[in-house]
Amino acid sequence: MKNLIQKIKENYGLVIVVLTVGLLLGWIISPSDSAPTTSETAVHEDHDHESEAEIWTCSMHPQIRMDHEGKCPICSMDLIPLSSMQSDEETANPNDIVMTESAAKLAAIQTMAVSKGAAEKQIYLQGKIQADERNIAEMTARFGGRIEKLFVNFTGQQVRKGEKLATIYSPELVTAQRELLEAVKMKDSRPSLYRASREKLKLWDLTDEQISAIENGGKPQTYFDILATISGTVMNRNIAVGDYVKTGQQLFQLINLSQVWVLFDAYESNLPWLKVGDPVTFTVQALPGKDFKGKISYIDPFLSGTSRVAKVRVVVSNPQQTLKPEMFVNGIVESAKAEKSSELLIPKSAVLWTGKRSVVYVKVPDTENPTFSFREIELGPETGNYYVVAKGLNEAEEVAVNGVFKIDAAAQLQGLPSMMNQPQIESVAKTDGFTPSETLNTEHAMFRVSGNCEMCKDRIETAAQSIDGVLSAKWEADKQMMHLTFAPKKTSAEAVQKAIAAVGHDTEKYQAPDSVYNELPGCCLYR
């Protein structure tokens, strides 16, 4: 042993070299990716499993992050692994809200298919009884004179057509009668003078009987009666016995109340539901228990600048004069939408309002977990508990009608498009004619388009949206930039640029034909 140690000491450098060479050869010969032992693999797998399950979150409050199972401190829901909230579908939209079945049930999420129906609404109107303007007569003095007698002594007195209202003495009328009597003597020789004398008296409201009585009497009448031109009620009496009146002065105002107007106040939101001919049922506070019926005969084309209402007129027969002017009435109109009888309808509970925008959440079909997509829409008139959908939804699509705020809250917390987080393009997507998969698989393009004004903007966007496959198009005049969202399976950005150039606006790739450009309005000439 001593000799061995002695030899090692003597050959110390050689031993070191041999050991180094041996270790190097062993590292080269041994495979670097050798499989770990069974025990090592098990330990590694256990470690990975524990790390994946370390993060637990709440499906309704994704801001909650915990390293163990338990309850959500906000809503007391069971926490779930963060990985279970991810969608495994290839066509999933990253902006969609994915929920578990249990979370959807706990949040009371309910959906309903969008369907067409009759847009009907019961409209409540208030108004007043007014006199029919067509049955108002103003009695004015056709000649000057003095009131000698007055047969109408008070306002509100009932008179009949042809009844005496007053007696007047007029020197002008006496002179006109003498002219008539002189013309009668020359009736055969000068018939035109005779006809002119009679016509003058008729223009002064004398009847044929009164004129014939003057001719037959052979002398002028000193006093003449003023007769009622219509049957009705005296609303104004502007003269008294002994008054001197001048030509054109107002004497009486007569109103026939056998037919009256009911003038209802209709607000702007009610006007789309009203049209001429709609039946109206109304009651009068002064006549409880009695219903009156009529039809809309006229809708005022102007709104009042102060009350912001338009007058809606109903003509009602009133032979017994039970309806009196200035009575208050309450009316009900059972109306269908004036323009169309079948519309897309969604419940009011499905819509979230953001001031200028209306938002719904559409259920994505054929998904393993309940998945909802943010959608901006345009609404038409309100109809009871429903809204008419003007743009943005297709028939048979499912929208959330209950728990919508909870879906939107989850989207806000995850930073996805929501009621408060506007998407990049604010315009409503054009979904008509697109399948759900096409609306999910879209592309966004930006390119320069030349133009000047709002007319250019309308022309450019209309040309782009006319291409089949374009979901939305927005042109920014200040930046001369077009934002385009389209389905790549149906069209391309290049096809849209061709369409825009064809209407007179240069794009990055195509120049508008000079013949088209020169026909643009002066304000649109950008070159």
- 191-247 pLDDT, tens digit per residue, is 888 889 888 888 887 888 888 888 888 888 888 888 888 888 998 898 899 899 998
Tell which wins on pLDDT, 37 or 365.
365
Helix (H, G, I), strand (E, B) or coil at 377: strand
Percentage of residues in the chain having pLDDT higher than 90: 20
Query: In sequence order, what E strands does 200-302 have?
Result: 223-227, 232-237, 244-245, 250-255, 259-267, 279-284, 287-299
Q: For 146-185, what is each residue's pLDDT tens digit?
A: 999 999 888 888 999 888 899 999 888 888 888 888 888 8
Q: What's the pLDDT band for 37 if we cut at 50, 70, 90?
A: very low
Q: What's the pLDDT score for residue 279?
A: 92
Q: What's the pLDDT score for residue 391?
A: 85
Q: What's the pLDDT score for residue 383?
A: 75
CA distance 520 to 525: 7
Q: What's the pLDDT score for residue 15?
A: 59
- In eight-state DSSP terms, residue 91 is T
Q: What's the pLDDT score for residue 51?
A: 44
Give me the mean pLDDT over the 406-424 stretch.
74
Q: What's the pLDDT score for residue 265?
A: 94
Q: What's the pLDDT score for residue 311?
A: 95
CA distance 459 to 14: 91
Q: What's the pLDDT score for residue 425?
A: 43
Q: Is the pLDDT of residue 2 over 70?
A: no
- Kindly report which listed range (106-120, 392-406, 508-522) carries the lowest average pLDDT score: 106-120
Give me the mean pLDDT over the 131-136 stretch.
91
Q: Which of 94-103, 180-189, 433-442, 497-506 has the highest mean pLDDT?
A: 497-506
Give me the mean pLDDT over the 126-141 stretch.
91
Q: Is the pLDDT of residue 257 over 60?
A: yes
| Locus of tokens 């090692």 | 8
Instruction: Locate 517 and state its tokens.
Output: 């450009």
Element (H, E) at 309: strand 309-317
Q: Is the pLDDT of residue 352 over 50?
A: yes
Percentage of residues in the chain having pLDDT higher than 70: 80
Q: What's the pLDDT score for residue 341?
A: 58
Indicate the average pLDDT of the chain. 81
CA distance 231 to 136: 10
First to last CA, the chain: 104
Dihedral (Cα; 421, 472, 492, 526), 10-degree rounding: -110
Q: What's the pLDDT score for residue 195?
A: 87
Q: What's the pLDDT score for residue 91?
A: 42
Q: What's the pLDDT score for residue 38?
A: 43
| Locus of tokens 């590694």 | 44
- Kindly report which listed range (7-16, 141-150, 299-308, 420-429) carries the lowest average pLDDT score: 420-429
Instruction: Locate 467 and state its tokens.
Output: 């291409």
Tell which wins on pLDDT, 365 or 261.
261
Give me the mean pLDDT over the 415-440 stretch.
56
Instruction: Locate 71 and state its tokens.
Output: 């309850």
Helix (H, G, I), strand (E, B) or coil at 341: coil
Give me the mean pLDDT over the 83-111 stretch.
70
Q: What's the pLDDT score for residue 9?
A: 58
Q: What's the pLDDT score for residue 435?
A: 53
